């Protein structure tokens, strides 16, 4: 009797172990349209698989089967994995079976020749960017019986149509938006390169991350006064956007909200905005003016440059600024001039006591800089990669030169280190290939390893 029980226990354990090992098993099978697909086992009871395609030769029309048979076992196809068909540019149509309940992140992203996708009633989860950057996609249809999603004018919404989830990348315009919409979803219009203008409905009170990223032909956008936050990457890559008026309801503008808006020339900041994150504008080479409403309690502007209210701190200089002719008399802190390629020279006022980290980084045409005696420290990367910088005057008040402060200043031929300097940090003058000799007059100075290139001669007096 004990022997029989032991045998039964062994057999049961062996079957359980076999089933456990089967989960995660990958195999190839042929779709009804003749293409080879890659599947992965997700469950053994009942038997289910996900499409996890690694075969990038699929082209034309693809029918994903409801079920697939492998080694005598039938599996239901219940999901499409993350990135399953990412960048399958030869795929023109896909039929999703009613057995599928989940479509993963970026599952069909950059399928540039798909023109339409139909979501069956079974799908209750669609991941982020699932159908983004599909240049010719003009319609996302949803079965009316679907409990989670819906469609209007070929645009994907949640069931109640309170959130616009994805606009197909090939649409020329979005003419009909339900009045129930309150939210523009994450990357909802990502890669919609044919839309030239858009009016956000007044019913919308939330725009999520990257909502209009990659709308490369967007020229104008109207933001209603129901919006309180411009999120990260909202208008990233909107190359044709030339100016933008932010409504007097917006309290916050997040980092990189206007990344790579290459033709943006001006931004108007309303009185309501009390938080602007660092690098809210970046790689906007033609931006010449940031203008702040005089009633704003936190920020101000002078000559198109963004300051704090009291004008003691420079926050952001537009990258297209050709010169800084006027600085406030009260200024004590200067930063945010990085990537200003049109600047050739800067005179820092005597009132300035502190220079911010990376303050002038990658000012590609900056030739000369005069630093006043009020400054005691050059911070990390303050002038790094200013490749045309030839003339630097360091003040006799200076005590330290930070990590990578002048790294990659290819045109810098010489540097005078004042006796007051006590510390030169690692990589401070790394890659300054024209500097051959440095004279040090402070016998107690600490120079960290790698502060200068190995071929530089250090002369002490």
CATH at residue 351: 3.80.10.10
Q: Can you give the pLDDT at residue 175?
A: 82
* Encoded tokens for 225: 């006064």
Tens digit of each residue's pLDDT (9 = 90 or more) over 309-326: 999 999 999 999 999 988
Q: Is residue 453 part of a domain?
A: yes
What's the rounded mean pLDDT across residues 231-245?
A: 94
**Average per-residue pLDDT in the chain?**
92
In a domain, 409, yes or no: yes
* pLDDT greater than 90 at residue 87: yes
- Side-chain-side CA neighbours of 390 within 13 Å: the count stands at 5
Q: Which of 9 and 430 is assigned the larger pLDDT? A: 430
Q: Say if CB 376 and CB 396 are below 8 A apart.
A: no
Burial annotation 422-438 (CB, 10 A radius, 16+ → b, else e): eebbebbbbbbeebeeb
DSSP 422-449: -EE-TTTTTT-TT--EEEE--TT-EE-T
Residue 12 pLDDT greater than 80, yes or no: no
Please give the Cα distance from 408 to 410 (Å, whole number). 5
Which pLDDT does position 445 carry in this prediction? 95
The span from the CA of 457 to the CA of 454, in Å, is: 8
Residues 6+ positions from 412 with CB-CB distance below 8 Å: 389, 390, 392, 406, 429, 432, 434, 435
Q: Is residue 190 part of a domain?
A: no
**C-alpha to C-alpha distance for 3 and 253, rounded to whole angstroms:** 73
Work out the percent of the chain whose per-residue pLDDT is above 90. 84
User: With DSSP H G I counted as helix, E B as strand and the rest as coil, what are the percentages for the chain, rounded to 5?
Assistant: 5, 30, 65
Distance, in Å, from the CA atom of 173 to the CA atom of 171, rounded to the nearest integer, reads: 6
Residue 131 lies in a domain: no
- Degrees to nearest 5, angle at CA 304 with 298 and 306: 30
Q: Which range, of 4-18, 287-301, 397-411, averages the lowest pLDDT?
A: 4-18
Output the pLDDT for position 258. 97
Per-residue pLDDT, 54 = 67
* Least confident window among 6-10, 347-351, 365-369: 6-10
Q: What is the pLDDT of residue 414?
A: 87
Q: Give the span between the Cα atoms of 193 and 211, in whole angstroms.
A: 13
In a domain, 198, yes or no: no
Question: In which band, very low, low, confident or very high, does the pLDDT at 7 lie, cut at 50, 70 and 90?
Answer: very low
pLDDT at 9: 36
Provide the 10 A C-beta neighbour count for residue 345. Answer: 14
Q: What is the pLDDT of residues 239-274, one digit of tens each?
A: 999 888 899 999 999 999 999 999 999 999 999 999
What is the sign, positive or negative, of the torsion defined by CA atoms of 204, 210, 211, 212? positive
> What is d(CA 191, CA 200) in angstroms, rounded to the nearest whole number?
17
Does the residue 137 lie in any domain? no
C-beta of residue 405 within 8 angstroms of C-beta of residue 426: no
Which burial class, exposed, middle or buried, applies to 15 when counting CB atoms under 10 A from its CB (0-12, 13-18, 19+)?
Answer: exposed
Query: In the chain, pLDDT over 70 holds for what percent of residues?
Result: 95
- Residue 53, pLDDT score: 79
- The pLDDT score that the predictor gives to residue 56 is 66
pLDDT, tens only, 49-75: 999 976 667 889 999 999 999 989 999
pLDDT tens digit sequence for 322-354: 999 889 999 999 999 999 999 998 989 999 999
Rounded-to-integer distance, Cα 258 and Cα 242, Å: 11
Q: What is the pLDDT of residues 184-213, one digit of tens each?
A: 999 999 999 999 999 999 999 999 999 999
Provide the domain limits for residue 430. Answer: 332-461
**pLDDT given at position 23:** 86
Residues 122 and 100: their CA atoms lie apart, in Å, by: 6
User: What pLDDT is stored for residue 391 in this prediction?
Assistant: 83
Position 121 pLDDT exceeds 80: yes
Domain membership flag for residue 100: no
Which pLDDT score, from 0 to 100, does residue 3 have? 45
In a domain, 418, yes or no: yes
- Total tally of structural domains belonging to the chain: 1
pLDDT in the model for residue 4: 47
Give every CB contact of residue 244 below 8 A, 6+ residues apart in sequence.
221, 223, 235, 258, 264, 267, 268
């Amino acid at each position: 009797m004990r022997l029989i029980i032991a045998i039964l226990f062994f057999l049961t354990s062996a079957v359980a172990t076999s089933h456990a090992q089967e989960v995660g098993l990958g195999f190839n099978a042929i779709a009804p349209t003749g293409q080879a697909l890659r599947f992965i086992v997700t469950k053994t009871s009942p038997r289910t698989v996900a499409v996890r395609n690694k075969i990038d030769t699929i082209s034309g029309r693809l029918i994903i089967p409801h079920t697939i048979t492998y080694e005598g076992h039938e599996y239901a196809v219940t999901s499409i994995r993350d990135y399953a068909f990412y960048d399958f540019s030869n795929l023109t149509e896909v039929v999703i079976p009613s057995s599928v309940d989940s479509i993963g992140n970026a599952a069909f992203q950059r399928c540039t020749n798909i023109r339409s996708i139909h979501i069956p009633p079974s799908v209750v989860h669609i991941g982020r960017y699932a159908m983004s950057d599909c240049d010719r996609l003009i319609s996302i249809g949803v079965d009316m019986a679907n409990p989670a999603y819906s469609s209007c004018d070929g645009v994907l919404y949640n069931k109640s149509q309170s959130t616009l989830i994805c606009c197909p990348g090939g649409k020329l315009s979005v003419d009909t938006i339900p009045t129930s919409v309150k939210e523009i979803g994450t990357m909802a219009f990502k890669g919609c390169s044919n839309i030239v203008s858009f009016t956000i409905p007044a019913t919308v009170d939330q725009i999520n991350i990257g909502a209009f990223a990659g709308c490369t032909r967007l020229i104008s956008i109207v933001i209603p006064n129901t919006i309180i936050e411009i999120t990260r990457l909202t208008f990233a890559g909107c190359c044709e956007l030339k100016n933008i008026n932010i409504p007097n309801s917006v309290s916050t503008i997040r980092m990189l909200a206007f990344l790579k808006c290459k033709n943006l020339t001006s931004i108007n900041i309303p009185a309501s905005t009390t938080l602007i994150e660092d690098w809210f504008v970046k790689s906007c080479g033609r931006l010449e003016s940031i203008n702040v409403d005089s009633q704003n309690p936190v920020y101000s502007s002078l000559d198109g440059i963004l300051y704090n209210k009291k004008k003691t701190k420079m926050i952001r200089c537009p990258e297209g600024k050709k010169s800084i002719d006027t600085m406030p008399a009260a200024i004590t802190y200067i930063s945010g001039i990085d990537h200003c390629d049109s600047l050739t020279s800067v005179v820092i006022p005597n009132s300035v006591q502190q220079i911010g980290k990376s303050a002038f980084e990658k000012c590609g045409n900056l030739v000369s800089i005069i630093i006043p005696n009020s400054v005691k420290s050059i911070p990390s990367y303050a002038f790094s990669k200013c490749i045309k910088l030839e003339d630097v005057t360091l003040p006799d008040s200076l005590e330290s030169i930070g990590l990578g402060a002048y790294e990659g200043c290819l045109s810098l031929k010489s540097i005078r280190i004042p006796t007051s300097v006590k510390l030169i940090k690692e990589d401070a003058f790394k890659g300054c290939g024209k500097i051959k000799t440095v004279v040090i007059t402070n016998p107690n100075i600490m120079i960290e390893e790698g502060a200068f290139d190995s071929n530089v001669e250090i002369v002490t007096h």
